Amino acid sequence: MSSALRADGLHTDGLRTDATLTELVVEYTSDPLTLMSRLAGSGLFDDYVVYERPGSWTFAGGTLGEVVLDTETVHAHWPDQPPTSRSWTGRPADALRDTFAEAPLPTWTAYGWLAFEFAASRPAGRLAHLIVPRTEVRAQDGRATITGIDTAETEQVAKLLTDADAPPAGVPSPVDVRVDGDRYRARVAEAVADINAGRYQKVIVSRRLDISYPVDVVSTYVRGRRANTPARSFLLDLRGFQATGFSPEVLASVDAEGRVMTQPLAGTRAFGLGTDADARTRHDLETDPKEIYEHAVSVRTSQDELYRVCDPGTVQVTGFMTVKERGSVQHLGSSVSGVLAPGRTAWDVLDALFPGVTASGIPKPEAIEAITRLEERRGLYSGAVVTVSHNGALDSALVLRALYNEDGRAWLRAGAGIVSASTPDREYEETCEKFSSIAPHVVPLI
């Protein structure tokens, strides 16, 4: 099924609701990572999102419906309806909620991304892009369920899933992460001065690392995923913007029964240096007053945010300051959970928790203002990859440890949480440690 692309980014062909859904269940012998990369690299789909949760993988391919949120306008295209564009004001989460409420589909699940600027007081550029796929593959425990509106396409997908051959992943060309040190240290010093002046308590200051060669994003996903242990992983290509990453934490998860969870991680040390070195850095992480303070204030902020949307009596912290191993780094992690208050929805949770406190700062409004002053536009970095469903469920991964690619240019980005006790040298070193989750695994496009 072909699809044309309008200037505003909306697909104008191939959107139908009268098609009969085809569902196939196949057994597979390849590992799910191979399956997802095979589908992404097949050429069957111009747009797709791969989203991994613990024990399950989803491939969302092609466009059945689409919502694009810009600074002042929300564009939507639903099956059997002409594309619409209308202005919006207020909360961007409400603009998305209202647009999806009009979807003429009995059931739907959307996949896509939110930019960091989704939370800015004066947002600029594209803020969100989500699709309802025409073909969806859910793989778990050796069985894949394929659901689609095009029988031929569904059968092609089934054939790809049962193919025994693994696509080559390419050879990485590691990216040098030890650049831009002086400029980054100067920004950290400026942030510490702001904190000592009482402007805010914490801010995440990041730096961008441009890659000098074209990148094979699918192969980079395969190589990077094999080397990482993420809370969520993702791979996407929407309107030519590609990204892949290994998210260390869940921004927001809401199930159909209204149970809510967020997973703030703050406090970082290197990992993967050998048993003895990892034990030393873990002890340092668990006993460093700066890291403990940074984590505790982040957890407290997440609690306060859930109090706004959950029944206060249900909000609780579990696994406080548990060490989470995430590829090249280890973090202090906690889970904060609750149950939605009456009248609240997953969109309210997203609005309350976005952007993640561990990628913005405390208080959030002041930290976001500082970030817009200290840095260029972030885009997807420290935003979210999200999946949301008609039944009220939502899952979103904080976008960190990721690679971004657009118009033939690829880049990485990493940051560090700055508090009053921060030192520019240590925070620069932390960004290098985080870059090392993906920089050694970048595969050139041949």
Per-residue CA distances from 434 to 36, 67, 125, 265, 415 (Å): 25, 32, 27, 13, 8
Whether 249 is catalytic: yes
Judge whether 422 and 204 are in contact, CB under 8 Å: no
pLDDT per residue, tens digit, the chain (446 aa), is 233 333 343 443 344 444 568 899 999 988 999 999 999 999 999 999 999 999 999 999 999 999 999 999 999 999 989 999 999 999 999 999 999 999 999 999 999 999 999 998 888 899 999 999 999 999 999 999 999 999 999 999 999 998 877 667 789 999 999 998 999 999 999 999 999 999 999 999 999 999 999 999 999 999 999 999 999 999 999 999 999 999 999 999 999 999 999 999 888 898 888 999 999 999 999 999 988 998 999 999 999 999 999 999 999 999 999 998 887 888 899 999 999 999 999 999 999 999 999 999 999 999 999 999 999 999 999 999 999 999 999 999 999 999 999 999 999 999 999 999 999 999 999 999 999 999 999 999 98
Q: Is 296 exposed, middle or buried (0-12, 13-18, 19+ CB in 10 A)?
A: middle
Kindly report the CA angle at 154 between 149 and 156, in degrees rounded to 5? 145
Q: Determine the pLDDT at residue 225.
A: 97
Q: What is the distance of C-alpha 436 from the center of its chain?
A: 18
Instruction: Give the count of alpha carbons within 13 A of 296, CB side only.
Output: 8
Q: Determine the pLDDT at residue 30.
A: 85
What does the domain layout of the chain look like in residue ranges? 22-162, 181-441
Q: Determine the pLDDT at residue 49.
A: 98
Contact residues for 13 (Cβ-Cβ < 8 A; gap 6+): 1, 2, 3, 4
Token couple for 132: 């309802």
Per-residue CA distances from 219 to 56, 241, 244, 278 (Å): 20, 16, 10, 28
Residue 74: CB atoms within 10 A of its CB come to 20
Q: Determine the pLDDT at residue 10.
A: 46
Catalytic residue among 52, 249, 291, 427: 249
Say if pTM beats, i.e. exceeds, 0.85: yes
Kindly report the CA angle at 46 between 244 and 158, in degrees rounded to 5? 90
Q: Looking at this protein, which amino acid is placed at residue 305? A: E
**CA 316 – CA 336 distance, rounded (Å):** 6
Q: Spell out the long-range contacts of 377-380 with Cβ–Cβ below 8 A and sequence spacing 24 or more.
A: 377/117, 377/124, 377/125, 378/115, 378/116, 378/117, 378/206, 378/413, 379/115, 379/116, 379/117, 379/125, 379/404, 380/113, 380/115, 380/116, 380/241, 380/243, 380/404
Domain at 181-441: CATH code = 3.60.120.10
**CA 439 – CA 402 distance, rounded (Å):** 9
Longest CA–CA span in the chain (Å) reads 63
**CA 392 – CA 183 distance, rounded (Å):** 44
Q: Determine the pLDDT at residue 19.
A: 52
Token couple for 283: 């002890």
Q: What is the distance of C-alpha 276 from the center of its chain?
A: 32
Main-chain dihedrals φ then ψ at residue 275, nearest 5 degrees: -60, -50
